[in-house]
Structure formats: structure tokens, C-alpha cells
């Protein structure tokens, strides 16, 4: 029994959901998103809630049950409040700035990194050492933040690199004489 799948997803005011076949479309104040579930689950819309139920007792049906419910919950959160990832840059001379739709990163490489921001995502650099990634799609926001972080992961000796704001970097002791 999926503990996550059992709970219905509440629809706040201003959010509507419609189901056609296995595809659910959620409209909200920020965006419209859709998700196509597998044939292992059934999606139903009541007055102000969306419920997901499995069609069988197979392992795959139970896996899809919790995952589909979480996808619907993430879409509801995305169209109402959106998602946000905050990154910090540590290191001498490491900085970031936005120019149009391109994030320019100076990360101690021989060249400047130009990161093209995909559609549906907003990237801002309020300070030269801070990057904020925002959007309505949870997966896309996380992937863009991970792609930016990939350019210079934090190293364990001085902590230089790009890290998530709430990330803890395990520090190692340096070489001793």
C-alpha cells in the first residue's frame, strides 16, 4: 500500500484539473502543465482534489501509483507557487552575471562559460556570487541547477566551486609537513 499514493492531491482556489484518458492537465495562475500516466494507474478528479489509484496489485502498478501522485502534486505546486533552487559560488575571481538569456560564469577556467537558459526557466544573479533558478517544472528547475553546478563542483579542501545554498561540503584536512 502506497502511503503517498493514498492521499488525494488538494487543488487550491484558482487551479483547475481536467483528465482525458491517461493525460491530466492542470491550469493555474502561473502556467499550464500536463502529465501522461501509464496504464497501470487511474486518475480521477473530484470537486477540489485529484486522486490516483492503481489498476492492479502488480509491483509496477504500485510503483506508478506513488510516482503519478507525486507528479500531479508537483504540477499543482508548480502552477501555484513555482519551484526555486539557490546556488552559491565560492572562490577567488569566481562570479556569475546574466546577459539577456545567457548566464556568464567566470570559474577559473581559461575561458568564460556561457550557459544558455532553456525556455520556461528564469535564472537571476542578484549578486555576483549568487544564482537563483526558478520555474514551474520541478524536474527542469533541478536539472538546470545541476547543469550549472556541473561546471565547477565544490572541492573538499577549500570549498571552491558552485554549491547549493543549503548544501554542506565535507572538508578534508590538507597535507601536513
- Interval 31-85: pLDDT, tens: 899 999 999 999 999 889 999 999 988 999 988 999 999 999 999 999 999 999 9
Which domain-ending residue is among 48, 80, 112? Answer: 80
Sign of the alpha-carbon torsion through 114, 119, 123, 124: positive
Half-sphere exposure of 136 (CA within 13 A, CB side): 17
User: Residue 31 is placed in which grid cell?
Assistant: 502556467
Which domain-ending residue is among 80, 115, 141? Answer: 80
- Interval 19-32: pLDDT, tens: 998 999 999 998 89
At 47 the pLDDT is: 85
Q: How many domains does the chain have?
A: 2
Within-domain flag for 112? yes
Q: How far apart are CA 86 and CA 108, in angstroms?
A: 21
Q: Are both 32 and 60 inside the same structural domain?
A: yes
Which domain-ending residue is among 25, 57, 80? Answer: 80
Within-domain flag for 101? yes
Interior CA angle at 84 toward 81 and 166, to 5°? 130
- Structural domain harbouring 122: 83-164
At 176 the pLDDT is: 86
- Interval 116-160: pLDDT, tens: 999 989 999 999 999 999 999 999 999 999 999 999 999 999 989
Within-domain flag for 173? no
Q: Are 159 and 174 in contact (CB under 8 A)?
A: no
Q: Are both 87 and 40 inside the same structural domain?
A: no
Q: How far apart are CA 4 and CA 158, in angstroms?
A: 40
| Residue 10 clears pLDDT 70, i.e. is over it | yes
Average pLDDT estimate for 102-122: 93
Q: Are both 16 and 87 inside the same structural domain?
A: no
Within-domain flag for 169? no
| Residue 1 clears pLDDT 80, i.e. is over it | no
Within-domain flag for 172? no
Q: How far apart are CA 136 and CA 33, in angstroms?
A: 9
Amino acid at each position: 500500500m502506497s502511503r503517498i499514493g493514498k492521499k488525494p492531491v488538494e487543488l487550491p482556489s484558482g487551479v483547475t484539473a481536467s483528465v482525458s484518458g491517461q493525460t491530466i492537465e492542470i491550469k493555474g495562475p502561473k502556467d499550464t502543465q500536463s502529465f501522461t500516466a501509464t496504464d497501470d494507474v487511474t486518475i480521477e478528479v473530484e470537486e477540489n482534489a485529484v486522486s490516483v489509484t492503481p489498476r492492479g496489485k502488480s509491483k509496477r502498478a504500485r510503483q506508478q501509483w506513488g510516482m503519478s501522485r507525486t507528479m500531479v502534486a508537483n504540477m499543482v505546486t508548480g502552477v501555484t507557487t513555482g519551484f526555486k533552487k539557490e546556488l552559491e559560488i565560492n572562490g577567488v575571481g569566481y562570479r556569475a552575471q546574466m546577459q539577456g538569456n545567457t548566464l556568464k560564469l567566470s570559474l577559473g577556467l581559461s575561458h568564460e562559460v556561457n550557459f544558455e537558459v532553456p525556455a520556461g526557466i528564469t535564472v537571476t544573479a542578484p549578486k555576483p556570487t549568487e544564482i537563483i533558478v526558478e520555474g514551474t517544472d520541478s524536474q527542469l528547475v533541478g536539472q538546470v541547477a545541476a547543469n550549472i553546478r556541473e561546471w565547477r563542483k565544490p572541492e573538499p579542501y577549500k570549498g571552491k566551486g558552485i554549491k547549493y545554498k543549503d548544501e554542506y561540503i565535507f572538508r578534508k584536512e590538507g597535507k601536513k609537513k
